[in-house]
Amino acid sequence: MAELTYREAVRGALREEMLRDQRVILMGESITGYGGSYAVTKGLVEEFGPKRVMETPIAEAGIVGFAVGAAMGGLRPVAELMTVNFALLALDQIVNSAAKFHYMFGGQWSVPLVVRTVSGFGQLGPTHSQTFEGWFASVPGLKVVMPATPADAKGLLLAAIRDPDPVIFIEHSLLYSTKGQVPDDDGLEVPIGRAAVVREGDDITLVSYSRMLLQALHAAEVLEREDGVSCEVIDLRTLRPLDYPTMVRSVGRTHRLVVCGEDWRTGGFGASLLSELQDRSFDDLDAPIARVAMRDIPLPYSRRLEQVLIPGSQQIVDAVRRMS
């Protein structure tokens, strides 16, 4: 084990897989000289050269479309979209090309493509602080991964690059500098589609992913200390395909569930998850499923207002207390 930051873990996965597999190429805006807007790809162009670490024009649809063609032609492209907000420009290529070719041509032509992008906020304003994982997770043909820890970031990215289908890999800007133990084993994958029970508990299940996992863990500590409530915390890690059985098993013991997300309440990822869970676990539930989500307001630039709006551990604690 080694202690790495989330950023180092992502970079490590890219580097290891590029060394292992000549077909892996990176492409994106400012990923060479600048090392990417979050410095994830720093140093890689020096090591692998400009053909495998490609600087591209500002053209998200072009980048993803290019990557789809390169993937269909036998490469393993990892396209970086600077933030998930810019992925909107590439939605057609992601949804109508990447997610469809395998299905529409009988599996002859798969698209082993990874789109790496970043969610997050921090005084970035309404157009640069959005979270769209729910949109991607609603599309058959895509896999959507959102790691919360350095170990998962590395293991899931390795799995994503090796996966034969298109994977949307969403990092979180506020996690890049967090640290964690990462296994030394070269090439150790974390399987796509499996959630992790990060903290065991008896009274209530908190389901979360990405940055909200840290908030849920903090809320669990507060609730244990101040209320004597024992929370089980699940990190989904993959949003599509979603590991319902792990959640159903947990709710079967705790009988209470809070779904925690950072995206907007209306149509957010948690809404679909909640609907499915109330169907699968209705008889196990002792209370309506609660949800922590962002209010339906675009995040403002003001630091104070941003802090008021962004869901965190306090909202989770409040939600649990309302249920008890």
Residues in the chain: 324
Q: Collect all residues with Cβ–Cβ distance below 8 Å to 262 and sequence separation of at least 6.
A: 119, 131, 210, 211, 212, 293, 294, 310, 311
Under the binding rule (CB under 8 A), the answer on residue 140 touching another protein is: yes
Under the binding rule (CB under 8 A), the answer on residue 224 touching another protein is: no
CA–CA distance, 50 with 37 (Å, rounded to integer): 18
Radius of gyration of the chain from its Cα atoms, rounded to whole angstroms: 19
Closest CB 221 distance from another protein, rounded Å: 30
Cβ(280)–Cβ(310) under 8 Å? no
Binding test (CB under 8 A) with another protein, winner from 57, 185, 225, 304:
57
Under the binding rule (CB under 8 A), the answer on residue 248 touching another protein is: yes
Q: Phi/psi at 186 (nearest 5 deg)?
A: -65, 130
Closest C-alpha among 253, 273, 274 to residue 200: 253
- The reply to whether 218 belongs to the active site is no
Residues 148-177 that bind another protein (CB under 8 A): 163-165
Identify which of residues 4 and 25 has a Cβ nearer to another protein in the complex: 25
Under the binding rule (CB under 8 A), the answer on residue 221 touching another protein is: no
* Helices and strands (H, E) in the chain, number of each type: 12, 14
Q: First-to-last CA distance in the chain?
A: 40
Q: Supply 161's token pair.
A: 């690059």
Residues 282-301 that bind another protein (CB under 8 A): 282-284
Binding test (CB under 8 A) with another protein, winner from 2, 3, 34, 103:
103
Q: Which stretch binds another protein (CB under 8 A): 105-113, 119-127, 260-268, 286-294?
A: 105-113
Binding test (CB under 8 A) with another protein, winner from 134, 141, 147, 261:
141
CA–CA distance, 309 with 81 (Å, rounded to integer): 26
Binding test (CB under 8 A) with another protein, winner from 44, 45, 63, 231:
63
Please give the size of the binding site for another protein, defined by CB under 8 A.
Answer: 61
Cβ(146)–Cβ(134) under 8 Å? no
Query: Binding string, 178-217, against another protein, x = CB under 8 A?
Result: --------------xxx-----------------------
| Apex 188 CA angle, 184 and 189, nearest 5 | 140
Binding test (CB under 8 A) with another protein, winner from 1, 3, 34, 107:
107
Binding site for another protein (CB under 8 A): 25, 51-52, 54, 56-57, 59, 61-75, 77, 89, 92-93, 96-97, 101-110, 140-141, 143, 163-165, 192-194, 241-245, 248, 252, 276, 279-284
Active-site positions?
Answer: 60, 128
